[in-house]
Amino acid sequence: MIQSVKIINFTGFKESEIHFSKGLNLLIGENGAGKSNLLRLLYSVTSVSADEGKKKPNTIPTKNSFQPLIAQKLLSVFRPESLGRLVKRKQGREKCEIDFKYLHSSCDIKFSFSSNSRNEVEIEKLPTETIQKQPVFFPTRELLSIYPGFVSLYELYHLEFEETWRDTCLLLGAPLTKGPREKKIQTFLQPLEEAMGGNLVLEPNGRFYLSLPGKGKLEIPLTAEGIRKIAMLSRLIASGSLLEQGCLFWDEPESNLNPKYIKLVAKIIFDLASHGLQVFAATHSLFFLKEIEILSRMSKIQSSRYIGLSEKNEEFLIEQGNDIADLSLITVLEEDLMQSDRFMEMR
């Protein structure tokens, strides 16, 4: 689990130290305020550590192995022409510094790179062990409809898609979990399958279908996009990718969902966080935030963290607290509330 990150001169972040909850972390702000950049940075570094741990279990990391992996992951996820393009824009040479602290300090890592760097990072603090659980990244769009052949195509050709899509597709193709954890998994799956009207299946032809009781199977591209997003969530729960001790990074979970499905997704996210999954969700939906706030007030065990982001003079500004009331008015909330006021004045 990520405890904190200190960022200096990364994209629009001048100097920020952000602390996270072990449960649910909500990144709130308008478009262009740095939510997605922060989400992708957190995912990229954690993903490199988990990948290395999976490939080389019980092996102590080395600078020679970690430095090129972090550089390549940042390039593949952010898609700049060079690594130096991720350094905050200033005249002259600048240095970007990133300092991650995890629940287990043996996983901590600190690295830097300069504005004239093409594809090199310098590790200043090396972890002595790797992350054990693979993190999961949900992009704003669903991926089930592009899944067939996407990973092999991505590996063979230079495609202008960020690597989070490839990583998530790999997890979507993972086998389903059996054994003692099935009962817990089913408690999360049941409301999702009720909303879909069936269950998601992956056929040997490499395509996903929605199996509808008494109606046969429906090709997943023929279903509504909101259903596909819920189906993605169900698949990753069924495979065990979204169980305790891992991390979920979700960019705009409310995207392309109607209010009924937003309520469902908010409840599932909240429940997953309550059962040991560390969740990072970037949003600008007042409806989604209200649902999380309702669930938080009803629960006595949930730990949440609110991180408000805004942009001023090409710099990302951050507020943070354990309650949404700890933040000053955020644009996303302000606009929704002003719209409600205008509507009431017309009555």
Of residues 307 and 344, the one with the higher pLDDT is 307
Residues 265-289 have a mean pLDDT of 92
Q: Which helix (H) or strand (E) element contains residue 173?
A: none
CA-based nearest residue to 18, from 98, 126, 75: 98
Give mean pLDDT, residues 270-288. 92
pLDDT by residue (tens digit) across 246-256? Answer: 999 999 999 98
How large is the average pLDDT for residues 147-154? 93
Task: Tell me what the mean pLDDT of segment 288-305 comes to.
Answer: 84
- Mean pLDDT to the nearest integer, 231-235: 95
Cβ atoms of 309 and 317 closer than 8 Å? yes
Would the pTM count as exceeding 0.85? yes
Does residue 50 have a pLDDT over 60?
A: yes
User: Residue 118 in 3-state DSSP?
Assistant: coil
pLDDT for 93 equals: 78
pLDDT tens profile 6-31: 999 999 999 999 999 999 999 998 88
Q: Which residue has the higher pLDDT, 325 or 234?
A: 234
Percent of the chain with pLDDT over 70: 93
Task: Please report the pLDDT score of residue 323 as a whole number.
Answer: 83
Tell which residue, 141, 161, 93, 164, has the closest CA to residue 254: 141
Confidence at residue 341, expressed as pLDDT on a 0 to 100 scale:
60
Whether the pLDDT of residue 89 is over 60: the answer is yes
Side by side, the strands of the sheet bearing 304-312 are: 136-138, 247-251, 278-283, 24-28, 304-312, 315-321
Q: What does the pLDDT read at residue 327? A: 83
User: Which residues partner with 125 through β-bridges?
Assistant: 110
Strand ranges, E, within 80-169: 95-102, 109-114, 122-125, 136-138
Label residue 243 by pLDDT band (50, 70, 90): confident
**Average pLDDT taken over every residue of the chain:** 90
pLDDT tens digit sequence for 189-217: 999 999 999 999 999 999 999 999 999 99
Name the one residue in this structure whose structure tokens are 């490939």.
55
Distance CA 144, CA 139 (A): 12
56-60, 112-116, 305-309: the lowest-pLDDT one: 56-60
* Domains within the chain, CATH numbers bracketed: 2-135+246-346 (3.40.50.300)
